[in-house]
Amino acid sequence: MGDDDNIRTEIRSLISSLPSDADFQGAKIYNYQGCWYRNFALQAVIDFQRNFKPTDTDIILASYPKSGTTWAKALTVALLERSVGGSCNNHPLASGSPHMLVPFFELDLYRKSPEPDLTKFPSSPRVFSTHMPLHTLRQPLMNAPCKIVYMCRNVKDVLVSRWHFYAKMAKKEVERSDLESMVESFCRGVHYFGPFWDSVLSYWRGSLEDPEHVLFMKYEDLKAEPCAQVMRLAEFLGCPFSQEEKRGGSVEKILELCSFGNLSSFDVNQTGTHNIFFRKGEVDDWKNHLTTEMQKKIDMVIQEKFQGSGLEF
Ligand code: PAP
């Protein structure tokens, strides 16, 4: 089925008025509110904006793709469900992948239906995810006091992760020419859910303006100081660890439950795609793949776009 087949006439005419370009694979992408989307995701974004009704306790996990979304989803589910007990085998994460437990607005819920039934949502509080930039969420959230967590990752690792992911999806070996095209489209700012810097900066500024409702996290920090970062996340979500839990090793248990090795070993293949979200899970793997020329190009763009923001990679 082609990208256009499920797009309603009304949305088609709206989309046709938007700036368009092609991503690194040559697929058509459209710029809506400063962000690039394929048309099926854009239809879902518009339906989400029109129809989503927030509740005060909603949690939204946001990220640019390949920044640690799966990990953030698992950690959030594990933090909220920690009364379920210590055994890994009877935990919701053992029978449902993080992506099934925490659906994306634009890639799952509103992609399937313009008005999905959210009354039977599996978790309470409801936990959603998105790759949309913060300004696109503002209008539908209507100042509801939702908690928004943004996971950010070094863009060079993001690019390498995406390159491998793309090859896995296309069921082929990684090809250098694809990586070159990705770096090119990244530096132009013309890529799915990009520009990267607009995604990151929207949430970075949001977190500075409203730290009670927007938490900015880094994949690298989670790797370097996992306990401190998980406690920070729990605090932000309003479910801090008690002293007794800390003494009992609850933080470490959650980290173990959500570790790369553990999550990737769960047999949760209902969607058949669980394993494509796990590759290496390391920091600085880009050093094994990017040429010096690619690195320099990316560094120049990053320096220019993040200058003065206070954010460092
Ligand atoms: P998504 O945006 O498509 O949902 P996302 O989960 O953000 O994907 O990114 C996948 C990356 O997170 C992979 O990185 P890599 O290609 O560099 O290896 C994946 O390995 C990594 N990842 C997934 N789960 C974990 C985890 N529990 N701990 C650390 N890294 C993880």
Q: What is the number of other CB atoms lying within 10 angstroms of the CB of residue 5?
A: 7
Q: For residue 91, what pLDDT is reported?
A: 80
Q: For residue 82, what pLDDT is reported?
A: 84
Q: For residue 86, what pLDDT is reported?
A: 47
For ligand 1, is residue 71 a contact (CB within 6 Å)? yes
Quote the ligand 1 centre to 293 CA distance (angstroms): 26
Which amino acid belongs to residue 159?
Answer: L
For ligand 1, is residue 62 a contact (CB within 6 Å)? no
For ligand 1, is residue 279 a contact (CB within 6 Å)? yes
- Pick from 71, 30, 20, 18: which is nearest to 221 by CA? 71
Contact indicator for 77, 126 with CB cutoff of 8 Å: no
Q: For residue 120, what pLDDT is reported?
A: 81
Residue with tokens 């880094």, as numbered in its chain: 218
Q: For residue 265, what pLDDT is reported?
A: 85
For ligand 1, is residue 66 a contact (CB within 6 Å)? yes
Quote the ligand 1 centre to 146 CA distance (angstroms): 25
What 3-state class would DSSP assign to 86? Answer: coil
> Which residues sit opposite 22 in a β-bridge?
28
pLDDT digits (tens, 9 = 90+) for 134-170: 999 999 998 899 999 999 999 999 999 999 999 999 8
Specify whether the backbone of 183 is left (phi greater than 0), alpha (psi in -120 to 50) or beta. alpha
Q: For residue 168, what pLDDT is reported?
A: 92
pLDDT digits (tens, 9 = 90+) for 70-93: 999 999 999 998 864 445 556 888
Instruction: Classify domain 3-306 at the CATH superfamily level.
Output: P-loop containing nucleotide triphosphate hydrolases (3.40.50.300)
**Ligand 1 binding pocket mutation candidate from 61, 63, 67, 71 (most atoms within 8 A of CB):** 71
What 3-state class would DSSP assign to 37? Answer: strand
Q: For residue 1, what pLDDT is reported?
A: 46
Hey, what are 284's tokens?
Answer: 């600085």
273 backbone dihedrals φ, ψ, rounded to 5° = -125, 5
Q: For the chain, which ranges sit under pLDDT 50? A: 1, 84-86
- Enumerate the active-site residues: 131
Specify whether the backbone of 142 is left (phi greater than 0), alpha (psi in -120 to 50) or beta. left
Model pTM?
Answer: 0.95
Ligand 1, atom 16: nearest CA belongs to which residue? 161
pLDDT digits (tens, 9 = 90+) for 115-132: 999 988 877 799 999 999
Q: For residue 307, what pLDDT is reported?
A: 96
Residue-by-residue DSSP string for 155-212: HHHHHHHHHHHHHHHTTS---HHHHHHHHHHHHHT-STT--HHHHHHHHHHHHHH-TT
> Which residues sit opposite 216 in a β-bridge?
150
